[in-house]
Amino acid sequence: MKGMIGIVVIVFSLVVLGCGSAGAQEAIKIGIIEPLTGPAAYDGQSVVEGARLAEEEINARGGVLGKQIRLVVEDGKADPAESVNAAEKLLVRDQVPVIMGAWASSATLAVMPVMKKNATPLLVETATSLKVTDPPSEWVYRICSNSAIDGQLMEKYLVPTLGFKKAAFMAANNDFGRAVVTFWSEAVKKKGGTVVLTEYHAPGEINFAPSLTKISTSGADSIIITSDIQTASNIIKQTYEMGLTKIKRLVTNGIPSEAIVKLAGVEASEGVLVHNYWVPFAPPKGQEAKNKQFMDKYTAKYPNKPVDKYAAFGYDGIRVIAQAIVTARAADPVKIKEALKKTKVDGLTGNIQFDDKNQARPYSSVSRIEKGKPKLVVRLN
């Protein structure tokens, strides 16, 4: 009898320990869709790396709602169809209550109907097409800027300050690229400048000689470049090789100056202007200490990669989602969606809160690359 009691006690103890172990391992999943392969992989990896830092920090402080968070990452390849497949995997297989993604505007726009159908919120971290939040969707929130906001800010500077009086555009042939052309063209024209030429290219394209030849004979005094980091850097390198460095060159939408220098070369990138969102050398006022802490942690964890705005937006995005889950008091999609409306986070990229279109307004600036280093030219807001 005593032996039987002992066996029962042992079995009961194992059951209790097993339940405790399962409870300890339970985590709140957060889905992420980023390009991990393809032309935009460098940028997508940066978003994930920043997100991982936020995950580590949040979990080190005890997680949210007494649970650890766990990022579930899928490769969307910056492609609409691939990103839709990634979203469906995260929603059906992993049953995540919220997703951050999907980097590219075209991919994000493709994912949005899937989120609405599954009544699950999407936090947009980098896609800038106006159509992401206009008209607004109750299931979509954006922490990065959009092309309309950027165009309005640049209106004050493109022609009067930077001297872009006869501008040519070289833009990716997708929602992102076309939106930049639309709103930045307006910024040029409203201050008396003209757009002399617009050349579109496929993301990942490598030969820009035909487009640059057209620009060289168009009378353009400036080139506005809108693409992924690898493609934009190739364009810059080829402008140098073709002797077009006297034409002012500006790269839009926060592509990191350090990465441009690395990919295009110091000589090719000399004098290039960069429209920044977050940059390590000029953070939003009041964020200097937090900025340095983030940079130190990122550099320690990823010593061979310059810290960039994609990492900062990935970091801020997970912090926003975590705060929304805390406010919601549950890892429930509908409650998270409602909580996002009230969420305010003092982020690396600015003071994050959402307007009536679920759009935040991050800090931005323009810098110039000089001898391989970016220097602040103007703060835009």
> What is the tens place of the pLDDT at every residue in 121-136?
999 999 988 899 999 9
Structure-token pair, residue 332:
């429930």
Domain final residue, candidates 249, 276, 303: 276
Q: What are phi and psi of 84, to 5 degrees?
A: -65, -45
Closest CA to 309 of 279, 346, 339: 279
Which pLDDT score, from 0 to 100, does residue 135 have?
95
* Mean pLDDT within 143-150: 92
Q: How confident is the model at residue 25 (pLDDT cuts 50, 70, 90)?
A: low
* Residues 234-271: tens digit of each pLDDT: 999 999 999 999 999 999 988 888 889 999 999 999 99
Answer yes or no: do 163 and 105 share one domain.
Answer: no
Q: Find out whether 242 and 215 touch, Cβ atoms under 8 Å.
A: no
Q: Are residues 134 and 211 in the same domain?
A: no
User: Which of 126, 100, 53 has its CA nearest to residue 277?
Assistant: 126
For the segment 328-341, the average pLDDT, to the nearest whole number, is 98
Pair (190, 219) in one structural domain? yes
| Helix, strand, or coil (residue 169) | strand
Say whether both 139 and 169 belong to one domain: no
Mind listing the pLDDT tens digit for each residue in 107-122? 999 999 999 999 999 9
Overall domain count for the chain: 2
pLDDT of residue 2: 44
Helix axes 41-60, 309-328, angle to 10 degrees: 40
Radius of gyration of the chain (CA): 23
Element (H, E) at 16: helix 2-25
User: Which domain does 176 fall in, by range?
Assistant: 149-276
pLDDT given for residue 259 in this prediction: 85
Nearest to 186 by CA among 165, 157, 215, 155: 155
Same domain, 232 and 130: no
Quick one: 132 and 177 in the same domain? no
Q: Could you tell me if 247 and 192 lie in one domain?
A: yes
* Class of residue 306 by CB neighbours under 10 A (exposed 0-12, middle 13-18, buried 19+): middle
Whether 17 maps to a domain, the answer reads no
Last residue of a domain, one of 253, 276, 299: 276
Q: Which residues pair with 170 in a beta bridge?
A: 199, 225
Q: CA 212 → CA 198, 247, 257, distances in Å?
A: 11, 11, 22
Amino acid of residue 369: I
Is residue 116 located within the same domain as residue 60?
yes
Q: Are residues 250 and 346 in the same domain?
A: no
Q: CA 112 to CA 136: how far, in whole Å?
A: 11
Q: Does the pLDDT value for residue 1 go beyond 80?
A: no
Output DSSP code: residue 104: S
Lowest mean pLDDT among 30-34, 59-63, 199-203: 199-203
Mean pLDDT of all residues belonging to the chain: 91
Q: Are residues 153 and 271 in the same domain?
A: yes
Q: Strands 345-347 and 350-352, how do they pair? A: antiparallel
pLDDT at 14 over 90: no
Residue 181 pLDDT greater than 80, yes or no: yes
In this structure, the answer to whether residues 120 and 156 fall within a common structural domain is no
The total of other beta-carbon atoms located within 10 Å of residue 181's CB is 23
Q: Rounded distance, CA 203 to CA 231, Å?
A: 7
* 366 within domain boundaries: no
Which of 90, 51, 88, 42 has its CA nearest to residue 69? 51
Dist. CA 24–CA 95, nearest whole Å: 19
Same domain, 260 and 342: no
Average pLDDT rounded to a whole number, residues 310-318? 96
Q: Find the length of the chain.
A: 381
On whether residue 10 sits in a domain, the answer given is no
The pair of three-digit structure tokens given for residue 339, joined into one six-digit string: 């909580």
Q: Is the pLDDT of residue 13 over 50?
A: no
CA atoms within 13 A on the CB side of 141: 27
What CATH number is associated with residue 123?
Answer: 3.40.50.2300
Q: Does position 23 have pLDDT exceeding 60, yes or no? A: no
Q: Under a CB-based contact definition with an 8 Å cutoff, are residues 109 and 80 in contact?
A: yes
* Structure-token match 């889950």, residue found: 325
Q: How far is CA 233 from the centre of its chain?
A: 18
For the entire predicted model, the pTM comes to 0.80
